[in-house]
Amino acid sequence: MARQSNDTPVSNHTSTLGTFRSLLRIYPYAKSALPRIYLGMGAALGAGLVALSIPLVLEALVDGPLSTGDSSQIWWAVGAVLGLGVLEAVFIALRRWFVLTPGTHVEAAMRNSLYSRLQDLPVAFHDRWQSGQLLSRAVSDLHLIRRWLSFGLVLLVVNTVTIVIGAAVLFYWHWLLGTIFLVLAVPIWVYGFVFEKKYSIIARRSQDQAGDLATAVEESVHGIRVLKAFGRGKYALRNFESQAESLRGTEIEKAKAIAGIWLWLLLLPDVAFALCLFTGVWLASAGEITVGQLFAFFATATVLRFPIESIGFLLSMTFDTRTATDRFFEVLDTTNTITDPENPATIPAPKGRLRFEDVRFRYADSPEGVPDLLDGVDLTLEPGETMALVGLTGSGKSTLTALPTRLYDVTGGRVTLDGVDVRNLSREELRRHIAMAFEDATLFSASVRDNVLLGRDDLDPTSPEADATLNEALDIAQAGFVRDLPDGVGTTVGEEGLSLSGGQRQRLALARAVAAKPAVLVLDDPLSALDVDTEALVEAALRRVLASTTALIVAHRPSTVMLADRVALLENGRITAVGRHSELLASSEHYKFVISSLEDEEKREAAEQIDRALADDTREQEEVSK
Amino acid sequence: MSSATVTGVEGEERDDFTKQESAQIRRRSLTLLGSLLAPLKLRVVLTMLVVVISTAAQVAGPALIAFGIDRGLPAVLDSNDWMPAFLIVGLYLFTGIVGAVLIAWYTVLSARISQAILIDLRKRVFLQTQKLSLEFHENYTSGRIISRQTSDLDAIRELLDSGINQLVSGFLYMLFTGIALFLLDGISGLVLLGSLLPLYFLTRWFQKRSQSLFRQSRVASAKVIVHFVETMTGIRAVKAFRKEKRNEEHFGGLVEDYRGVNAKVIQLFGVFDPGLVFIGNVTVAIVLLVGGFRVVDGSLAIGALLAVVLYTRRFYDPMEEMAMFYNSYQSAAAALEKISGVLEEKPTVPDPVQPIDLWAARGHVRFDNVRFAYKGDTVVLPDFSLDIPAGQTIALVGSTGAGKSTLAKLISRFYDPTAGTVTLDDVDLRDLHPKDLRRAIVMVTQEAYLFSGSVADNIAIGKPEASLDEIQAAARAVGAHTFIESLPNGYDTDVNKRGGRVSAGQRQLISFARAFLADPAVLILDEATASLDIPSERLVQEALQTLLADRTAVIIAHRLSTVAIADRVLVMEHGIIVEDGTPADLISGTGRFAQLHAAWRDSLV
Ligand SMILES: Nc1ncnc2c1ncn2[C@@H]1O[C@H](COP(=O)(O)OP(=O)(O)OP(=O)(O)O)[C@@H](O)[C@H]1O
Ligand SMILES: Nc1ncnc2c1ncn2[C@@H]1O[C@H](COP(=O)(O)OP(=O)(O)OP(=O)(O)O)[C@@H](O)[C@H]1O
Ligand SMILES: [Mg+2]
Ligand SMILES: [Mg+2]
């Protein structure tokens, strides 16, 4: 069942980068937004200053002009207060206006670049990474980063500036009082560093666990048929629950860490206040400062309380963002092992000669000492030839079919198309020359038409040519049933559309490969879900296409093998025999073992006949004995 | 429009609800919220108490300092009496410590509450998704469920984390300030009261506009997630057919929609928040104006004016925080609406109200005048009756799309028939206790889905309490043991998402072992051997022969080799069973099956 992704490739939690350096990596995305963020900080400072000045002005007004009892002064005073009040509102509006929209652009840009990066990364990457981990990066993490940029960062800077200015003012009132405040700030700094270490680890864990949870949700929905078939909803819930509980534990741990720093951030200023009060009284009694100055000192110090307290959640938000950034860049930093060459070769008129030359391949996680899964495959498909690939379950047939289109790259040897190493072609071109149908038919949420014409981005979808291609492909794959669907070929299929039967999906996937009109067709067990009659029809139609197209077809059944001109037998990672079906049947023991079922079929039929004869006998005997 | 159009997830993507619909939706999300909070009542009360006390402690601080300067200092100056100063400093320290400790405690308390709510909600949605029938899932898509469980829950979480203490303390603060103002000067109090009117309208405006935007935002975010999940799930096909560029454009559009809605919400708040400040500041000016004239005509003391003006200003101080809280509330409310919609959905294949137990099923399956249509009037299986005696092994064959899987899904109650009944041992499946139904009937589906996790875990889905020995025995029986042993970590090897770590045939073997382990009375195999090579299929068939000796089985297969182990063959075309008989009879006849079998036989070598 979906458990913790104990081997997600992100175990190295505390990256060596400091928080600051780590966050700085957002810079390229945030660059265009920064001027407005700076302006926003300015506006925030302005709003803060005005807000501070309003009580002072009020006080001054009430004590001054108003106390004279001159009614003409009232309008002035009210005007001043109103003016400042409006100014404050304007500053706040400005701050929001400056900061918030650019933040959404940064988020969107990061999301798009994550998405395109993910599409670019090889299949091996996707094998390794839990889908929920990718999703939580694309959604929650980026959301966090946006909020920090447009809110956390601004407040962090503004509040820090306020604290620094405030501290200077405190010193101005009296150095001793200021020193007390500063000295008591030291533990906060120290604690801050401890907090960073501790909190970052928890924050990271919580984000990873949230990703695991998303994975569990996704699997519980994708695997709903299995869970229903076995009535395992409750069982899945138990697993999910234990994961959710771990996340809850982490979140509470996180809250405890925040509570810890909050405690200090609240406590120390209070202790400082108390000490200052005492010292202040003492200083005043010694005549060092006036009562008015003492009052002013506390007034300033009070203003600093909120900024100091807010540092707590601003820091935690910052560290959250930092781990989110780390997670984001983990994907972006992954080196793509399957890239386009710098100077791609090109095949202007592909003939379709596909060659495997001493091809070796092993999956990254296969243990040492085990021979390569593909251990030196040599195979040549001549232009226009149809080659069936036969081998036992797990022998590596599907793996071999993934190599020509570079879904995986060979780990040794090479695959060439018309003499050009496939790694020297751009992936775009390569995949235009070679089209595939996979074992499991993936349909996207789009119309039948779009699904079938997926490989034909060169055609205008509304052109008659596209229609012709579509119809031809549907006919070859015997997928005429789509015309009876509610909206014909315009019916949406795939997850967001109509569900189809297994064989119907497989035929559409086949039609898609055929419609691409490639130089080379690679079909992985393309007829497994078809009944005997439909299979025969598809084969008859396919033969026409295959006459001019090179094809590699994985086959488990003799009926599929019949399609091919020649058959290649994959055994222990090598092609141990190539030849016509009848030749191999005569010459290769292993081939016979893999493909032939006639003997036991005959045996079974013979046995059945004997059974039946026996049954008849007994019946006769019974009748006789009556 | 009738109010029924927003029941469940229907109309979920709209944002233009009528008043009535809005009310209906609000009611259900509030009910949900209430039911989430109900078990936490005590803890919520405790938390509130902590907040009130800590607020009091915080408010006491400035008063004590003022007191210290007003009383403590003169005492020292006049009589060199340090006692009051010590006392006040001590008291100050005490309240400071109490306040800080309480706030820290509050942080943990509120996290516990918010986590309790989240986990409760998570579990409910999860269980509900498991309960809902396939019909729902086929329409709703996995991406939407995921977005309900992730980004919607994030929105609710943001609300819960956004500092309810600030809301409570802010509200208390405003209340006390307002009362103080009234006591001090009634006229100013009335002005303040008057300012609540524009405040109300501004808030209403914000509420109305933001509600619709937040709804749009939930929908837009779900669309992003749906597309994202679909791309990552089909990444091989995306690559093979060079869909990346087109996907990027499409995804970019969805992201931009989402961004646009978000930006609009934010801009709305960008008007709301300064609007509040503006109202507050204008109120201060009016209070000053009204008070000023009264000072001049002598009906108000000058000191009182200062106090009154400062109080008015302070009254609006916590407003920004409360506005932010309100903002996240609106966002969470939109999320809660969507979630409550999913929770409100009634499974179309409901659990029986009065379940009938069936402790030991014999496996007698009967279809009585069953008709079935997935949607509306496109009937897939027209009226038919079928009797499968206990212990019989049936081979179900027919061309693709004929309705074989559909028939199988009716037996395992993935769907209920549109008309007629399906019974097991004469009990209508609709009345059968779910646990008995699932124990008695197990289906190996056409798609062999594996969960990420170890091979052993995947097999154990057939029987969660199975020991490793039992698991291995099941794997051995279907001929999967050898390959599993050769995986890097044997039975503990992680098969990766969707079982990508193993080959298609190996996936089928694992699913097969799963069913073997479950040991049901009725076993349905829907093309369970389609991706196997012939030797493996042979092994499986041998295993089946022993396994099926005393149980009912429905085997759907295009490879007619299965027919050999069947007692009876059903041939299905266009949803109708056109032939029904023993294999021998049908093969020797002249019907459809004889033709199919001959064709198949010819293809063998
Ligand atoms: N992503 C992967 N990572 C590691 N090992 C893998 C991966 N995919 C497949 N394998 C292993 O490689 C071997 C070959 O798998 P492959 O899918 O190529 O087999 P196949 O010949 O297509 O089999 P089948 O006929 O069942 O489809 C199997 O033993 C499988 O366990
Ligand atoms: N969930 C669904 N919603 C609507 N229509 C469906 C659904 N599933 C299948 N259908 C339709 O019902 C018909 C019968 O489908 P079913 O899956 O039973 O066929 P099948 O006989 O199993 O075919 P195959 O051999 O291809 O698996 C098909 O026309 C199919 O398109
Ligand atoms: Mg394969
Ligand atoms: Mg089917």
User: How sure is the predictor about A509, in pLDDT bands with cuts at 50, 70 and 90?
Assistant: very high
Ligand 1 centroid–CA A399 distance in Å is 6
| pLDDT over 90 (residue A142) | yes
Mean of the pLDDT values across residues A260-271? 86
Residue A190, min C-alpha distance to chain B (Å): 19
Which position has the token pair 């506006």? Answer: A43
> How far apart (Å, rounded) are the C-alpha atoms in residues B278 and B272?
10
User: A263 vs B62: CB contact, 8 Å cut-off?
Assistant: no
User: How sure is the predictor about B523, in pLDDT bands with cuts at 50, 70 and 90?
Assistant: very high
Q: What is the pLDDT of residues A146-185, one digit of tens each?
A: 989 888 888 888 888 888 888 888 888 788 888 888 888 8
Supply the pLDDT for residue B572.
92
User: How sure is the predictor about A14, in pLDDT bands with cuts at 50, 70 and 90?
Assistant: very low
User: A534 vs B399: CB contact, 8 Å cut-off?
Assistant: yes
User: B400 vs A244: CB contact, 8 Å cut-off?
Assistant: no
Mean of the pLDDT values across residues A607-612? 64
Supply the pLDDT for residue B25.
85
Is A228's Cβ below 8 Å from some Cβ in B?
yes
Q: Are B108 and A253 in contact (CB under 8 A)?
A: no
Residue B447, min C-alpha distance to chain A (Å): 8
Residues of chain A with Cβ-Cβ distance to B156 below 8 Å are: none
Vertex A90, ends A84 and A95: CA angle to 5°?
125
| pLDDT over 60 (residue A3) | no
* Half-sphere exposure (Cβ direction) of A60: Cα atoms closer than 13 Å: 9
User: How sure is the predictor about A618, in pLDDT bands with cuts at 50, 70 and 90?
Assistant: low
Domain segments of chain A as ranges: 27-197+251-332, 354-442+501-621
Ligand 4 centroid–CA A516 distance in Å is 26
Please name which ligand lies nearest the alpha carbon of B502: 1
Supply the pLDDT for residue B342.
92
One-letter amino acid of A454: L
Q: What is the pLDDT of residues B447-482, one digit of tens each?
A: 889 998 999 999 999 999 999 999 999 999 888 999
Supply the pLDDT for residue A551.
92
| pLDDT over 80 (residue B301) | no
Domain A354-442+501-621 top-level CATH class: alpha beta
Q: Is the CB of A365 under 6 A from ligand 1?
A: yes
User: A431 vs B239: CB contact, 8 Å cut-off?
Assistant: yes
Q: Is the CB of A130 under 6 A from ligand 2?
A: no
- Which of A241-255, A344-358, B98-112, B298-312 is least confident? B298-312
Residue in B226, B280, B461 nearest the CB of A230 = B461
Instruction: State the average pLDDT for chain A.
Output: 86
> How far apart (Å, rounded) are the C-alpha atoms in residues A200 and A486?
54
| pLDDT over 60 (residue B164) | yes
- Which of A88-102, A558-572, A593-607, B553-567 is least confident? A593-607
* Half-sphere exposure (Cβ direction) of A437: Cα atoms closer than 13 Å: 30
**How many residue pairs from chains A and B have C-beta atoms closer than 8 A?**
538
| pLDDT over 90 (residue A267) | no
Residue A171, min C-alpha distance to chain B (Å): 19
Write the residue with the smallest CA distance to atom 17 of ligand 1. Answer: B503
Phi first, then psi: what are they for A387, rounded to 5°? -115, 125
Share of chain A above pLDDT 70, in %: 91
Residue ranges of A 164-223 with Cβ closer than 8 A to chain B? 210, 213-215, 217-223
Which position has the token pair 């909803």? Answer: A233
Instruction: State the average pLDDT for chain B.
Output: 88
Supply the pLDDT for residue B2.
42
Q: Which of A312, A306, A304 shows the shortest CA–CA distance to A166? A: A304
**Could you report the predicted ipTM of this complex, rounded to two decimals?**
0.90
Residue A116, min C-alpha distance to chain B (Å): 6
Residues of chain A with Cβ-Cβ distance to B195 below 8 Å are: none
Contacts for B572 with CB less than 8 Å, ≥ 6 apart: B396, B397, B398, B402, B403, B404, B407, B578
Residues of chain A with Cβ-Cβ distance to B302 below 8 Å are: 62, 66-67
Q: How many CB atoms lie within 10 A of CB A223?
A: 26
- Which of A66-75, A438-447, A506-515, B125-134 is least confident? A66-75
Q: What is the pLDDT of residues B436-445, one digit of tens each?
A: 999 999 999 8
| pLDDT over 60 (residue A623) | no
* E-state strands within A206-365: 354-361
| pLDDT over 50 (residue A366) | yes
Mean of the pLDDT values across residues A391-402? 92
| pLDDT over 70 (residue A616) | no
User: B558 vs A123: CB contact, 8 Å cut-off?
Assistant: no
| pLDDT over 70 (residue A69) | no
What totals of helices (H) and strands (E) does chain A contain, helices first?
22, 12
Ligand 1 centroid–CA B486 distance in Å is 12
- Which of A304-308, A560-564, B398-402 is least confident? A304-308
**Which run of H or of E encompasses A419?**
none
Write the residue with the smallest CA distance to atom 27 of ligand 1. Answer: B504
- Residues measured by CB to lie within 5 Å of ligand 3, the ion: A 398; B 503-504
Q: Are A508 and A448 in contact (CB under 8 A)?
A: yes
Which position has the token pair 């990552």? Answer: B232
User: B273 vs A96: CB contact, 8 Å cut-off?
Assistant: yes
Please name which ligand lies nearest the alpha carbon of B406: 2
| pLDDT over 80 (residue B26) | yes
> How far apart (Å, rounded) are the C-alpha atoms in residues B37 and B29?
12
Ligand 1 centroid–CA B478 distance in Å is 18
* E-state strands within A433-572: 434-437, 446-447, 492-493, 520-524, 550-554, 566-571
Ligand 1 centroid–CA A128 distance in Å is 15
R_g of chain B computed on alpha carbons = 35
Q: Is the CB of A370 under 6 A from ligand 1?
A: no
pTM: 0.91
Supply the pLDDT for residue A81.
83
Ligand 4 centroid–CA B527 distance in Å is 7
Q: How many CB atoms lie within 10 A of CB A286?
A: 9
User: B288 vs A81: CB contact, 8 Å cut-off?
Assistant: yes
Q: Is the CB of B600 under 6 A from ligand 2?
A: no
Q: Which two tokens stand for residue B594?
A: 């004889």
A287 or A198: whose pLDDT is higher? A198
Q: Are A502 and B447 in contact (CB under 8 A)?
A: yes
Write the residue with the smallest CA distance to atom 2 of ligand 2. Answer: A499
> How far apart (Å, rounded) are the C-alpha atoms in residues A371 and A615?
53
CATH superfamily, domain A27-197+251-332, is ABC transporter type 1, transmembrane domain (1.20.1560.10)
Q: What is the pLDDT of residues B268-295, one digit of tens each?
A: 998 998 999 899 989 988 988 888 888 7
User: How sure is the predictor about A614, in pLDDT bands with cuts at 50, 70 and 90?
Assistant: low
Q: Are B241 and A431 in contact (CB under 8 A)?
A: yes
Residue A216, min C-alpha distance to chain B (Å): 9
Q: Are A487 and A448 in contact (CB under 8 A)?
A: no
| pLDDT over 60 (residue A16) | no
Residue in B97, B461, B604 nearest the CB of A601 = B604
Domains and CATH numbers, chain B: 3-344 (1.20.1560.10), 365-604 (3.40.50.300)
- Best mutation target among B115, B124, B593 (most A Cβ atoms within 10 Å) is B115
User: A440 vs B447: CB contact, 8 Å cut-off?
Assistant: yes
| Ligand 2 atom closest to the CA of B134, numbered from 1 | 1
| Ligand 2 atom closest to the CA of B402, numbered from 1 | 21
> How far apart (Å, rounded) are the C-alpha atoms in residues B571 and B332?
54
Residues of chain A with Cβ-Cβ distance to B457 below 8 Å are: 1, 3
Among all residues of chain A, which has the CA nearest to that of B320? A92
- Which of A451-455, B59-63, B138-142, B303-307 is least confident? B59-63
Ligand 1 centroid–CA A590 distance in Å is 20
Write the residue with the smallest CA distance to atom 2 of ligand 1. Answer: B501
**In CATH terms, are A27-197+251-332 and A354-442+501-621 the same topology?**
no
Residues of chain B with Cβ-Cβ distance to A559 below 8 Å are: 600, 603
Q: Are A139 and A107 in contact (CB under 8 A)?
A: no
Residue B288, min C-alpha distance to chain A (Å): 6
A463-471: which pairs have CB atoms within 8 A and are 24 or more residues apart? A469/A515, A469/A517, A470/A515
User: A92 vs B273: CB contact, 8 Å cut-off?
Assistant: yes
Residue B189, min C-alpha distance to chain A (Å): 18
Is A72's Cβ below 8 Å from some Cβ in B?
no
Q: Are B588 and B601 in contact (CB under 8 A)?
A: no
Mean of the pLDDT values across residues A274-282? 83
| Ligand 1 atom closest to the CA of B508, numbered from 1 | 26
Residue ranges of A 340-379 with Cβ closer than 8 A to chain B? 365-367
User: B461 vs A366: CB contact, 8 Å cut-off?
Assistant: no
